[in-house]
Structure 1
Amino acid sequence: MRAPLRWVLWDVKDTLLKVYQSYSRRYPNYGISQGLNGQAWWTGVVRDTLSLCRVQDPALLNTVANNLYHNFCNAENWEVFPDSVRALERCSSLGLKLGVVSNFDSRLEAILHSCGLLSHFSFLITSEEAGVAKPSLAIFDQALHNCGTAADCVAHVGDHYVNDYLSPRSVGIHGFLLDRQNKHNQADVLLEHRLGSLDELPSRLLQLMD
């Protein structure tokens, strides 16, 4: 007999800057394994980007990089999709508890707070703080520990095929793939697991709560 759904985990899929792939390859997950942190990693990205534009003044590079890092905690730099707010409110009204599992740095709490979304979530797990990034199963193990329940009582929602669908499903979590632009064509994503909008999510979750 299937256990009823109790939790919904959410990915946070927005980008502060367009990160050069070479930098991501050299320092994955904000350079944690190389002794960096989120601020040092993003500062390095900005400094390298400006250097390519022939900005060489060290003081100017540091000032711009630090300002950009801190300014992106502010709500005016983020767009909250209307269907996200509706889905969060609907899930909470169904009695489901919500958490975040995100490949992000330690600013995420401040960003969610400034956007008025933080109160929806019982916990946040960022890849910087966890020391591992999706699609590593270890970050989902941490999430399940926080939920305090079995994997089949948990769903995860996100828009990355590997990170947000295959990875959570491999540990027994129900995966839902958000595809607003209809760009995912993987045959192994079941129709009932695809979401063209988060407005479709609550009715899918209700089927797992019976």
Structure 2
Amino acid sequence: MVRAVVFDVGETLIDETRIFSRWADRLGVPRGTFLGLIGACAASDRPLEEAFRLVRPGIDLPAEIARWADDDPDGLRENFDADDLYPDVRPALAALHEAGLAVVVAGNQPPQARTALEAMDLPVDAIRTSDEWGTQKPDPEFFERVAHLCGAAASEIAYVGDRLDNDVLPAADAGMRPVLIRRGPWGYLHATRPEAERVDVVDSLDELLGLLAP
């Protein structure tokens, strides 16, 4: 029986279109070009950072982010806010919470992501980021931290994410119930792969209550 549902952030809760569109503007390339390169990286199993290097060889991302903060201190820049939430997020999380399940957000994110998520007043029990834990998915330690945070056995936890490699297959290896959401470049691509037969696949977070609730 599932007692806790844990969510990835990017392209699971957050639509990253505005983030990457702002990055395209910052890098001086058409938005469609940059979004296309991100999709190409997803299709070829290359890291997301490769899209930045293709546009600007030798880019130092942390340094560029710091310069961007100096240039536009009051803008969102590479960050997100409540306007970036997918529309099914609030109702789905609320329904799971009302059904008696613990609802947790834990993903590979920088520290400011927790502040941004907490400001949204989502119906969740806890929010954590990889940076504050000092470990990132797909490292097994990340999922050990998830289980400790939930106060439940791994077999009682469902992990929901948009990637097979980073999210749901490592969660399955940790003993959790894996749920892949088919959205974002990785989500659509990974849902077509043979490994997706090992996991539950949903098209909306609204499907989770019927899938997981006791």
Same fold (TM over 0.5): yes
RMSD across aligned positions (CA): 3.0
Structure 1 pair 173/192, CA: closer, same or farther in 2 (3 Å)? closer
% same residue: 25
Q: Is the 8 A contact 2:178 2:199 kept in 1?
A: no
State the partner residue of 1:7.
4
1:83 aligns with 2:102: no
Q: TM-score, normalised by structure 2?
A: 0.69
Q: How does 1:43-192 map to 2 (within 5 A)?
A: 44-46=63-65, 63-64=70-71, 66-68=73-75, 72=79, 74-75=81-82, 78-117=83-122, 120-180=123-183, 182-183=188-189, 184-190=191-197
Q: What is the Cα deviation at residue 43 of structure 1?
A: 5.1
Structure 1, unpaired ranges of 5+: 26-40, 49-60
What is the aligned counterpart of 2:202 among 158, 177, 195?
195
Structure 1 pair 127/114, CA: closer, same or farther in 2 (3 Å)? same
| Rounded Cα–Cα distance in structure 2 between residues aligned with 1:192 and 1:130 | 26
| Rounded Cα–Cα distance in structure 1 between residues aligned with 2:121 and 2:62 | 26
Q: Is the 8 A contact 2:93 2:124 kept in 1?
A: no
User: Stretches of 4+ moved more than 6 A in 1?
Assistant: none
Greater mean alpha carbon deviation, residues 62-71 or residues 99-108:
62-71
Higher radius of gyration, 1 or 2: 1
Q: How many residues align?
A: 173
Q: What is the Cα deviation at residue 47 of structure 1?
A: 5.4
Q: How does 1:3-42 map to 2 (within 5 A)?
A: 4-13=1-10, 14=14, 15=16, 16-17=19-20, 18=23, 21=49
Structure 1 pair 83/147, CA: closer, same or farther in 2 (3 Å)? same
| Rounded Cα–Cα distance in structure 2 between residues aligned with 1:157 and 1:94 | 17
| Rounded Cα–Cα distance in structure 2 between residues aligned with 1:42 and 1:104 | 15
Q: TM-score, normalised by structure 1?
A: 0.70
| Rounded Cα–Cα distance in structure 2 between residues aligned with 1:47 and 1:63 | 6
Q: What is the Cα deviation at residue 67 of structure 1?
A: 3.9
Structure 1 pair 24/153, CA: closer, same or farther in 2 (3 Å)? farther
| Rounded Cα–Cα distance in structure 2 between residues aligned with 1:194 and 1:22 | 27
Q: What is the Cα deviation at residue 24 of structure 1?
A: 8.5
Query: Which one-letter code corresponds to 1:81 in the other structure?
Result: Y
